Structure 1
Amino acid sequence: MTQNSMAYRAAQAYRGVAVTVPPLRAMVMLYNGAIMFLQKSIEAQEARRFEEAHGHMMRATAILRGLSHNLDFARGGAVADRLYDTYNALILACLRSFGRRDVSENYRRIIASLTELREAWEFVARTKDAAKPPVGQP
């Protein structure tokens, strides 16, 4: 699968999730997916299944690429700019780390960063849900 087709599929997956799941929940799900694929990549690397590890890493970066391509810079302003830079830095870190001796350590740091972002989005989702009036109330 080529880079462009993976990016297209990631963007399609993002749009598909965005239609069926509230946007904040979709963000959390996408972060979970990227984290899961990086964890699988670490496991495959450690088992010396390098092609499989590469495929998992590419799926994680495709999710990040999909997130970066779906930012709304008009509404998001400086936050969207920072997220774009963050996603691209994480993508480059994944690509540069693959095949190196310290790949597992590097991927764990990337996973920690993604976990922080995911937790921030979870907090925003909980805060937004708490601010909503109960069903049937104005």
Structure 2
Amino acid sequence: MFDTGYSAYQNTAVEGKAAGADVQQLVLMLFDGFLEELERTVGHINGRRFERKANSVEKMLRILGGLEASLDLDKGGELAANMARLYDHCGQQVLQASLRNTTEPLDNVRTVMTNLQEGWKGIGSQA
């Protein structure tokens, strides 16, 4: 019961933040959510909670899909194409971690996504 109530609270808090956010803030929220879910996935794999792991993996893949969908490949040119490749690579690594029930592929994903998140934060501080 607590878990359900806490999830509802979290969803409401995220929806409230998203309602007043600009594009850069929304992208940063997606990175935050992804990295939080990645840590949950590591815990689920280590704890052998495979049903929960599957739910976390699904959330991470949906977030990656949202990040990729936010790219404007026409206007973004090579940078947007490179970002799409990085998101695809991360998705493949998440799937490998899930299929093998191992956390090693997630180490690289954490590094890539943390670096991208820092880049987005840098963009915001320059604006």
Instruction: Place the TM-score, normalised by the shorter chain, in its bin.
Output: 0.7 to 0.9
Distance 2:39 2:108 in 1: 11
Gapped regions of structure 2 (runs ≥ 5): 1-13
Name the structure 1 match of 2:35: 35
Q: Find the counterpart in structure 2 of residue 64 from structure 1.
A: 64
Runs of 4+ in structure 1 over 3 Å off: none
**Which one has a larger percent helix, Structure 1 or Structure 2?**
2
Secondary structure of 1:51's match? helix
Structure 1: how far apart are the matches of 2:76 and 2:21?
20
Give the aligned partner of residue 6 of structure 1.
Answer: none
Alpha-carbon displacement from aligned partner over 1:39-97 (angstroms, at most 9, x marks no partner):
10110111110110111011011100111122111221111111111111111111122
Deviation of 1:120 (Å): 0.5
Which residues of 2 match residues 82-121 of structure 1 at below 5 A?
82-100=82-100, 103-121=102-120
Percent identity over the alignment?
A: 22
**What is the alpha-carbon root mean square deviation over aligned residues?**
1.8
Return the letter of the residue paired with 1:105: E
Q: Is the 8 A contact 2:41 2:53 kept in 1?
A: yes
Q: Secondary structure of 1:98's partner? A: helix
Give structure 1 stretches of 5+ with no counterpart: 1-12, 129-138
Aligned equivalents of 1:88, 1:77: Cα separation in 2:
17
1:46-57 correspondence to structure 2 within 5 Å = 46-57=46-57
Bigger CA radius of gyration: 1
